[in-house]
Amino acid sequence: MQRILTLSSLAATGMLLSACASLGTPAGLQAGQTVAVVNSLSWENPLTGKRDGVRTSWPIKDGKIAPEYFPLAQLKQCEAEGKPCAWGVMRAQRGAPLLAYVDDGVDLAVNVSIDVARRQDARQGETQTAMAIPQDVAALAGKQRVQPSWKLKYGKVEQVELDYGVRYQVCVQRYDAAGKAIDTCAVPFI
């Protein structure tokens, strides 16, 4: 009987130590280090012809990052010389259903959705925005959803090209205990 209690006690202690170890520092990180997902959604500005977009950084909290709702944007597509261009308003968002720490990086799966139409509106908290293309202008219309997954190494940028010249880029970056970046993510500030 004593032997059964001792073995049970040892097994319980082993499980407890195992659970405590899994709550510690994630794989590939040193104590005090944190990680953020740096990403951008960019497109060609229809008025200037230059790359435009948004770049953000999201800290990983409890093994997750918050979903992101990108600002509305105008897109333009011209088919042939002399023919009128079509315009559209894009609404886009990004989610991250899978995120796991691995040595030298993060396993990350994202879903990026774009919806392009004549008119879009977006509500985020207390803010509501709307944008529309005039009725006498040819309009773009389309929806696309991509679900790439990567084994991202810290500081390495990956990207996905979407319809209408839209590009999604992502990178993971470590920070030391003082909040100073350890890795460089070459995702451009737009």
Q: What is the mean pLDDT of the chain?
A: 88
pLDDT tens track for 28-42: 788 999 999 999 999
pLDDT at 25 (0 to 100) = 78
- Tens-place pLDDT, residues 129-158: 999 999 999 999 999 999 999 999 999 999
Q: Give residue 23's pLDDT band: very low, low, confident or very high (50, 70, 90).
A: low
**What is the per-residue pLDDT for 185?**
95
Q: Cα(151)–Cα(85) distance, rounded to whole angstroms?
A: 39
Q: Would you say the C-alpha torsion 19, 20, 21, 22 has a positive or negative sign?
A: positive
Q: How many CA atoms lie within 13 A of 187 on its CB side?
A: 27
Three-state DSSP at 78 gives: coil
Number of Cβ atoms within 10 Å of the Cβ of 176? 12
| Residue (of 188, 190, 157, 161) closest to 172 by Cα position | 157
In degrees, rounded to 5, the angle at the alpha carbon of residue 164 between the alpha carbons of residues 158 and 165 is: 40
Q: How far apart are the first and last CA of the chain?
A: 70
**Stretch 7-16: mean pLDDT, rounded?**
42
Find, among 168, 169, 148, 170, the residue nearest to 90 by Cα.
168
For the chain, give every domain's residue range: 26-175
Rounded Cα–Cα distance for residues 38 and 188 (Å) = 10
Distances (CA, A) of 53 to 43, 48, 131, 145: 6, 13, 16, 18
pLDDT of residue 30: 87
pLDDT single digits (tens) 50-93: 999 999 999 999 889 999 999 999 999 998 787 889 999 999 99
Give percent above pLDDT 70 in the chain.
87
